[in-house]
Amino acid sequence: MASCVDRHRNTSTSDATREVVDEAGRRVQLPLHVDRIVSLAPNLTEIVFAVGAGDRLVGDTEYCDYPAQAKNVARIGDTMHPSIERIIALKPQVVLVSTASQLEAFTKQLDEQEIAVYVTNPRSLDEVFYSIKTLGDLFGQHDGTESIVADLRSRAAAVEVAMRSVKPVKVFYQVSGEPLYTIGREAYLTDLVRRAGGLSVTADVPGAFPRYSDEAALAARPEAIILPGGGSMGTANSTVAASLKNSPAALNNRVYRINDDHLSRPGPRLVDGLEEMARALHPEAFK
Amino acid sequence: MTPFLRTGGYASGARRSLANSEEGLDGKAEPYRTVLRRSREAVENTMNGEMQRTIGSGHATLLRTLLVCGVLLLLLVCILIVAALLGSQRLPLTSSLCALAGGSNCGLSSEQQAILFDLRLPRILLAGAVGMCLASAGAGYQALLRNPLAEPYLLGISNGAAVGTMIALVFFGAHEWSRPVMAFAGALLATLVVYQLARGRAGATPERLILAGVIVTTFLSSAIVFITTLMDATRIRSFTFWLLGDLSGTTTSLLAIAFIAAGVGVGILAMNARSLNLMMLGERDAFDLGVEVGRVRLTVFIAASLLVGASVASSGSVGYVGLVVPHLVRLSFGSDNRVVIAASALAGAAFVIVADTIARTIIAPRELPVGAITALIGAPLFIYLLKRG
């Protein structure tokens, strides 16, 4: 234990760091060898495990439940209310954050402790691949990550091929029913719906997850409704919003329930979500 | 118009009503008559022309109330129709008017029909019911507590109802009726606590009452934060929206509950309006004049809690309605509670319908919580009232 601390001290004084730019455009100083990571979001935890750096994850959130080993990592609170004391006590070299907005004050405190904060903020499937690849590189897992991302890309490409000849379906993505929330221009899910042979009727609405008008949703005449739910969502969001009961989608039984954990976590399993959505919207293309 | 915030505003209104109340006290014990005569002499000494006109028999007051309410009702219907024609989707004007008037073949598509009758109208009606509840409750609290700043949201009573609703959602989620019941219980409990906290030896001064409200509000806010941690992470966002007041997602049963509560609550308050007029002179004076002060207080607290509970259970905490509306009503029609309570109910309905129409349309097709709009209007008015006081 003592030697470990010594080694840590040596590396922090003598060892070189490198400067990287995170997805929020911030300059971040990272040690060349990162061996203590804290993740503040389930998708980041999934990425850390996927790139083979799971054994270096020393802290994650209450929501991190995949893969199973993620549940055995020390918990630092939840994504919105992380415990700064616990994080500092875990002595991480980098804390991974999924969006910068809520964590400004908190980032400052970590800066004072010389703990780097790296922000990811993907707005499309390609940017999710980019997040996975850069994190893999940062953790020295270049080769393994390369093949993981290549595999994910080829699965996404297969969906793209299958969707080439289909007619896009008008989709309403119901984030929550009452009140009605959906996906907007800045959500990576808008890109995902398009890749799955859909056309989000709210693709041009400003924001990532806007509160949406009931009547506008009905008037958009969605042909299909995506209901992300199940998984860690439990029974939440399991029924179509009352305002959409008479939409073409609901009347024609084209309401598709897809595991929310595959959609709401922009990580490796997002491609599962893409495949599930494409199969739901265009079963004919996969015969 | 007498500045409302000075005690003169209240007292003169009350004196005005006092004269009207004489017949109601007929047959009461002799000392009351003496007090009454003295009060009336005092009133007559300070009376101005405007008061002369308003003082009359009970019939005159009834007529005046009916007239004021008639005008407001007409205004309310106009606002309701305009609100029904506005929304994130543009509906054809003449066809919509035709459909609203009950026509069957007006040329609206089935979707437009659904937008108008299944989505917009229920929401507008709920806005109306919520406005009625909150404005009349505010008027009731203000008269009873002799405090122009008494308002369900500012006193923490809405928060009490919100905590009740959330407890119902977390523990009795399956039973829809548990929400309004628990909201009512929460509102009543918060009311009684604020009232006890505010009562000093010198009675409840406006400042003391607001301070008590702040304490109860912050305490209950932490309770709300605590309860949200017991909820699914996925539900928290909808709750933050709901806490700010949100009228979407109306169900028939919520609408029915809100209207029944509005009817019963406003009815009870109106029946106690005369006593409230006397209580504005001070509880001791009112007692001397034969008002059963304790009974009236409890009745008004229960009625107002019913009103606040029903509105919070169906739409969250819409703030400042109970402040803005009764104030404007008193500015326009004087302080006689027989007019103020009924007029506040109608004007409150109109106010919340207008606010929600703004919330629905201003950033369409996205939406704002209606509470953000009412607070935007209400908070500056609150500051203005404080400054003037």
Residue of B nearest to A202 (CA): B365
pLDDT bracket for residue B381 (50, 70, 90): confident
B109: contact with A, CB 8 A cutoff = no
pLDDT for the residue numbered B370: 93
pLDDT for the residue numbered B234: 57
From the list B118, B120, B232, the residue facing A236 with the nearest CB is: B232
pLDDT for the residue numbered B385: 75
Is residue B34 exposed (0-12), middle (13-18) or buried (19+ Cβ within 10 Å)?
Answer: exposed
pLDDT for the residue numbered A218: 95
- Rounded to 5 degrees, what angle do the CA atoms A81, A85, A90 make? 110
Reported as a single tens digit per residue, the pLDDT across B25-67 is: 444 444 444 544 544 444 444 333 333 444 445 678 888 999 9
ipTM beyond cut 0.85: no
pLDDT bracket for residue B239 (50, 70, 90): confident
Contacts of B241 in chain A (CB under 8 A): 179, 211
What residues in chain A have per-residue pLDDT under 70? Answer: 1-15, 100-105
Residue contact A181–B115, C-beta within 8 A: no
Chain A residue set in contact with B, beta carbons under 8 Å: 63, 78-80, 176-181, 202, 205-207, 210-219, 221, 233-234, 236-237, 241-243, 246, 260
Report the candidate in B187, B281, B169 with the shortest Cα–Cα distance to residue B228. B169
Place of tokens 């005159």: B60
Residue B280 to residue B61: CA distance in whole angstroms:
18
pLDDT for the residue numbered A101: 55
- Rounded to 5 degrees, what angle do the CA atoms A118, A124, A127 make? 40
pLDDT bracket for residue B238 (50, 70, 90): low
| Crossing angle (nearest 10°) for helices B58-85 and B7-25 | 120
pLDDT for the residue numbered A102: 56
**Bigger pLDDT: B381 vs B164:** B164
pLDDT for the residue numbered B232: 63
Cβ contacts from A onto B, under 8 A = 87
Is residue A47 exposed (0-12), middle (13-18) or buried (19+ Cβ within 10 Å)?
Answer: buried
Residue A241 to residue B261: CA distance in whole angstroms:
26
Share of chain B above pLDDT 70, in %: 82
From the list A177, A205, A233, the residue facing B366 with the nearest CB is: A205
Is the pLDDT reported for residue B362 higher than 60?
A: yes
pLDDT for the residue numbered A144: 93
Mean pLDDT, rounded, of chain B: 83
Residue A2 to residue B373: CA distance in whole angstroms:
60
pTM: 0.81
pLDDT for the residue numbered A216: 95
* Residues B340, B231 contacting (CB under 8 angstroms): no
Residue contact A211–B88, C-beta within 8 A: no
Q: What is the rounded end-to-end Cα distance, in angstroms, of chain A?
A: 58
Peptide bond preceding B3 in cis form (omega within 30 of 0): no
Q: Are strands A27-31 and A37-39 parallel, antiparallel or unpaired?
A: unpaired
Given strand A94-97, what is the order of strands in its sheet?
A57-59, A37-39, A94-97, A116-119
Contacts of B244 in chain A (CB under 8 A): none
B249: contact with A, CB 8 A cutoff = yes
Residue contact B364–A216, C-beta within 8 A: yes
Query: Which letter does DSSP use for residue A82 in this model?
Result: B
Beta-bridge mates of residue A225: A172, A255
Is residue A269 exposed (0-12), middle (13-18) or buried (19+ Cβ within 10 Å)?
Answer: buried
pLDDT for the residue numbered B52: 40
* Residues B307, B261 contacting (CB under 8 angstroms): yes
Contacts of A212 in chain B (CB under 8 A): 365-367
Residue B272 to residue B260: CA distance in whole angstroms:
19
Residue A107 to residue B87: CA distance in whole angstroms:
41
Residue contact A180–B248, C-beta within 8 A: yes
Among A64, A172, A215, most B C-beta atoms within 10 A, so best to mutate, is A215
Q: Where are the beta strands (DSSP E) in chain A?
A: 17-21, 27-31, 37-39, 57-59, 94-97, 116-119, 169-173, 198-200, 224-229, 255-259
Residue A76 to residue A60: CA distance in whole angstroms:
6
Is residue A218 exposed (0-12), middle (13-18) or buried (19+ Cβ within 10 Å)?
Answer: buried
Smallest CA–CA separation between A28 and chain B, in Å?
30
**Bigger pLDDT: B17 vs B193:** B193
Is the pLDDT reported for residue B302 higher than 90?
A: yes
Give the sign of the dihedral formed by CA A260, CA A265, CA A266, CA A267: negative
Long-range contacts of A232-235 (CB under 8 A, 24+ apart): A232/A42, A232/A63, A232/A65, A232/A260, A232/A261, A233/A260, A233/A261, A233/B232, A233/B234, A234/B232
Place of tokens 């009103």: B307
Q: What sections of B26-120 are H helices per DSSP?
A: 30-46, 49-54, 58-85, 93-100, 110-114
pLDDT for the residue numbered B35: 46
Residue B149 to residue B136: CA distance in whole angstroms:
14
pLDDT for the residue numbered B351: 97
Is residue A272 exposed (0-12), middle (13-18) or buried (19+ Cβ within 10 Å)?
Answer: middle
Smallest CA–CA separation between A125 and chain B, in Å?
23
Give the sign of the dihedral formed by CA A128, CA A129, CA A132, CA A137: negative
pLDDT for the residue numbered B59: 77
